[in-house]
Amino acid sequence: MTVDLLSPADRARLEAVFEVRRQWGFLGPGPVTAHVEHALRFVAALPTGSFRAADLGSGAGLPGLVLAVVAPDSEWVLIDSRRKRADALRLA
């Protein structure tokens, strides 16, 4: 398990978003918490300070949404070729 980089409120909000995405069939097997923990492993690869990044094939928003919350000075573009998923990313 990673050091908790998310506040309890941010973690709860993200897990609620991903649970809905699971119900819509956008998220693979396993508990939502495991998906969030997996996304947090990418934090070590992020640059410091403000930066721009893209999450290609974002689907449910992993890891992009998690990383955007962890790095609030960053600017993210989450991209998915399927319209339904792209629309859901806009809502998130």
pLDDT digits over 22-69, tens only? 999 999 999 999 999 999 999 999 999 999 999 999 999 999 999 999
Share of the chain above pLDDT 70, in %: 97
Give per-residue pLDDT as tens, 2-19.
468 999 999 999 999 999
Residues 27 and 21: beta-carbon distance below 8 Å: yes
47 vs 53: CA distance, rounded Å = 10
What is this structure's pTM?
0.91
Q: Amino acid identity of 83?
A: R
